[in-house]
Amino acid sequence: MSTIVVEVMPKAELLDPQGKAVVGALSRLGHTAINDVRVGKRFEITVDGEVTDAVLDDVRTIATEILSNQVIEDVVGIHVADGVDA
Amino acid sequence: MSTIVVEVMPKAELLDPQGKAVVGALSRLGHTAINDVRVGKRFEITVDGEVTDAVLDDVRTIATEILSNQVIEDVVGIHVADGVDA
């Protein structure tokens, strides 16, 4: 079994209300060194056997078509856990 | 400005309903190579200036006390973006 990590973040140019809420809470709690926070999603996808190119292509398709909304989000990373960037 | 990435995942021993829903959808869409999916959160924290040890300690505290619920989640990674693991 192998694990592939997919990382999805809101597009940089979009307002991130969740992130703004976290920044507000952090400054109220005294963490003033924090300038900005953006909140995204992290998926751990487990597949049987080794991660072949075909499996990676499938995961890339899944990442862009299913795990992220390409209108408001970007897939910022796909890598094999404890491995090199895919 | 520097960016620190914090990665939070549901504890391994807990059922991840979101993940199960994604696996179900993927198999219905023909992506049968996928064995399991777990869904977590990815935070990008921007701080002014360089990332000092003090800033990293602050971010670790923030990660465990504010950005994750230690009853059901684990902080699985904190690293400076495009940098080494913190």
In whole angstroms, what separates CA B48 from the centre of its chain? 22
- At residue A80 the predicted structure's pLDDT band, cuts being 50, 70 and 90, is very high
The pLDDT value recorded for residue B9 is 97
User: Which residues have C-beta within 8 Å of that of residue A73, sequence separation ≥ 6?
Assistant: A8, A9, A10, A11, A40
| CATH classification at residue A37 | 3.30.1280.10
Indicate whether A16 belongs to any domain: yes
Q: Is residue B49 part of a domain?
A: yes
- Note whether A43 contacts B47, CB cutoff 8 Å: no
Contact between A70 and A64 under an 8 Å Cβ cutoff? The reply is yes
Quote the number of domains for chain A.
1
Structural domain including A9 reads: 2-80
In the three-class reduction of DSSP (H, G, I as helix; E, B as strand; rest coil), residue B58 is classed as helix
The residue written with tokens 């969740």 in the block is A18
Give domain status of residue A86, yes or no. Answer: no
- A→B contacts (Cβ < 8 Å), by residue, are 1, 7-9, 22, 25-26, 29, 31, 33-48, 55, 58, 62, 66-67
B9: in domain: yes
Dig out the tokens for B5 from the structure: 């990435």
Structural domain contains residue A85: no
pLDDT in tens, A45-68: 999 888 999 999 999 999 999 999
- pLDDT for residue B50 is more than 70: yes
Residue A12: inside a domain, yes or no?
yes
| Tokens linked to A21 | 């809420």
How far A19 CA sits from the closest chain B CA (Å)? 8
Q: Is residue B86 part of a domain?
A: no
Q: Are A4 and A59 in contact (CB under 8 A)?
A: yes
